[in-house]
Structure 1
Amino acid sequence: MSHAIKHLLIGGLIIMAVPTATTANENDLKLTIVNPKTLYDPSPNGYSTAVIIPAGARVAYISGQGGQDSKGGLSPDFAVQVKQAYANLGAALERIGARPDQVAKLTVFVVDHDMSKLGVLTERVTDMFGTALPAQTLVPVPKLAVDAMQFEVEAVVVLK
């Protein structure tokens, strides 16, 4: 393909390759997490202020993963849906050959968000990402695509 930017759509994933003049080695593709000392420390809430993607990396966008099990069922329990959604995200990462430490950005959507849900969210994100917390935005919403859905997470991933 002679285009400057190539896109590949695979079952809800978009993989974008931007050609560069040089080839980066494995060590050059590590994400840089930035939490400025002059800002509030977001890590206790399960995210980082900014994440820098290295030059020469390919980027994949993982569509929103809800709390559906393999048969499409949804638990009525928020915590169960969040746990399943992160398991679904993990499966998508594995399928594209990525690990959690390659996730640069998460966007989470929470139906009827309130502070009681924040503890569940923080626990799940730290279970998956440890201290390599991606940048993250939480968007409270009145409703998601399926009536019973209470949570959805999408990701931007750096591929090596």
Structure 2
Amino acid sequence: MHTSTDLLSFHNPAGLYDPAPNGYSHLALVQGPARWLLLSGQGGEHPSDGLPDDFEGQLAQCLANLQTALRAGGAGLKDVARLTVLVVEHREARLAQLSQALKSLWGEAPTPACTLIPVPRLALDGMLIEIEATAVLTHPKAGSG
């Protein structure tokens, strides 16, 4: 068992392979009162510079956008219970880049549950990756507004 907080814990049960090298956990367990933050899929669009041409550039911007959206909702990476990753023209090299990026972001902290789905295309022409997230936050204390 890998625990992030009393509210959110991550588990990799015996009998399943170790997903840590790929940057995710098999299970995310939420216990107790919580607020849910549901992020729409974040792509690799830069607010002013558009969409990078390559997967690596889009992945980096996508993860930056994900963190911006989390902060706006009062959350951080440690609060993310689940990721859904959509990848155009998926191949092992892209999985390796994604896995390394997730492991780098989360560091030694438990990584969220994650599903990667290969897709034929995304919303914008040239868009190669999109990541949506579900984060779990504690309820605000009484009187904190």
TM category (shorter chain) comes to 0.7 to 0.9
Confirm or deny that 1:60 pairs with 2:37. yes
Among residues 113, 132, 135, which one is paired with 2:113 in the alignment? Answer: 135
Partners of 2:40 and 2:134 in 1: how far apart?
9
Aligned partner of 1:83 in structure 2 is 60
Amino acid at match of 1:28: D
Q: Per-residue CA shift, 1:66-95, capped at 9, x if unaligned?
A: 000012601111011001000000001111
- Indicate the structure whose relative CO is greater, using CA pairs within 8 Å and at least 6 residues apart: 2
The CA RMSD over aligned residues, in Å, is 1.2
Note the residue ranges of structure 1 that are not aligned, 5 or more in a row: 1-26
Give the CA deviation at 1:114: 0.5
- Larger Rg, first or second structure (1 or 2): 1
Is 1:50 the counterpart of 2:27? The answer is yes
Candidates 73, 93, 99, aligned match of 1:122: 99
SS at 1:32 equivalent: strand
Give the aligned residue type for 1:111.
V
Match of 2:6 in 1: 28
Residue of structure 2 aligned with 1:149, choices 112, 122, 127: 127
Residue deviations 1:101-126 (CA, integer Å, cap 9, x gap): 10000000000101111111011111
Distance in structure 2 (CA, Å) of the matches to 1:142 and 1:127: 28
TM-aligned CA deviation for residue 55 of structure 1: 1.7
Please report how far the alpha carbon of residue 128 of structure 1 lies from its aligned counterpart in structure 2 after TM superposition: 1.8
Q: What TM-score results when the alignment is normalised by the length of structure 2?
A: 0.88
In structure 1, C-alpha distance between the alignment counterparts of 2:6 and 2:93, rounded to whole Å? 40
TM-score with structure 1 setting the length:
0.80
